[in-house]
A and B are shown apart, each in its own frame.
Chain A
Amino acid sequence: MEALHDFLLTHVQGDLLPWQAQVEAGEHFGLTFGQVEETALKLNILPSRYQRNRQTISTAQQLTLFQSKVAVIGCGGLGGYIIEELARLGVGNIKAIDPDVFEEHNLNRQILCNISVLGKSKAEVAEARVRDINPAVHLIPIKDAFSKANGVELLHDVNVTVDALDNIPTRIELAETCETLGIPLIHGTIGGWYGQITTQLPGDQTIQKIYGQRSEVRGVEKVLGNPSFTPAIIASMEVAETCKLLLNQGTSLHKRVLFINILDMEIEDIRI
């Protein structure tokens, strides 16, 4: 271990650790990319890839993010952007849950979807994408539909769950499972020009308050569909809420819902 520490400390350039040194450390000491990155962060050495995070996220906070585990429920419109941003942010462990494969009608908005992956598992494409961005980030692909039946097993070991589902009844089941497990849920949803987000902490029952006893599966998106820009906006705000929660920073959307109307550029900040 001391040899690895010496290796990392001698390969620091300025005060940053270049990617090539991370690769060489892994090869030299027979370690995974993840083990090398975590060791560097514990030594207060910042991998070069995070240098533009630095004025916002300290090296100690970067370690907290790297040691965190976040579940993303759905790898489609919202989920693709969420996974992409969590990986670039440096969240070290991501569970990506989606039973579906990419189809042509996903091409208008889903960042992980391109012509070459049509017919392929969304969760597995997410894994490949994250490996391309940063192989130190461990993404666990789960090709299964989230439900109340498997929810506890899927989420028992995560710090935060991020909602990227495409229907209302499963969202209510997800919210109930997070309440049971006592874990925070970052809720986001989209339809046409509209989207909403909130941060539900255990005991809040915010999602249940929003949807009540609804039996309908879909909302306004049933008619409006979803264009390219709405998922990017809502997903980014969900990742920002996740980051703040993991680092205990800023003011969250706890007991608040942001309802965003991009058509008229209006944002309602609702207390609930």
Chain B
Amino acid sequence: MRITIKLFATLRTGRFDIETLEFSPGVTIDQVIKELGIPEKEVTLIFVNGHHADIHDTLSDGDTIDLFPPVGGG
């Protein structure tokens, strides 16, 4: 199934801004993050089709996920 992935800020470095990729049915967000070679701790905010999501949520064909890194400075 096809999942569109949008990466933000530092997560783009050496990767991409937006891409649609093929994954096995029933894939979870943490598996997608792993396949992209992103360490799990580098992702904080996750949205699926514009709705706040959990890293363990299962994806469906055609979903769009947005991944943001943690920002914590002041």
Contacts and interface: CB of A to CB of B under 8 A. Distances in A.
Interface residues of A, number: 43
B70 A211 contact: yes
Given A194-B9, A219-B70, 19 more contacts: A74-B74, A163-B74, A166-B73, A167-B72, A168-B72, A189-B74, A193-B9, A218-B73, A219-B71, A219-B72, A219-B73, A220-B10, A223-B10, A259-B8, A268-B8, A268-B68, A270-B45, A270-B66, A271-B50
Contacts of A223: 10
A210 interface: yes
Contact of B71 (A74, A189, A209): A189
Contacts of B72: 166-168, 171, 189, 191, 216-221
Chain B interface main SS type: mixed
B44 A79 contact: no
Given A210-B45, A220-B10, A259-B8, A166 B70 contact: no
A235 B69 CA distance: 20
Interface string A203-218: 0000001111010111
Interface in B17-74: 41, 44-45, 47, 50-52, 66, 68-74
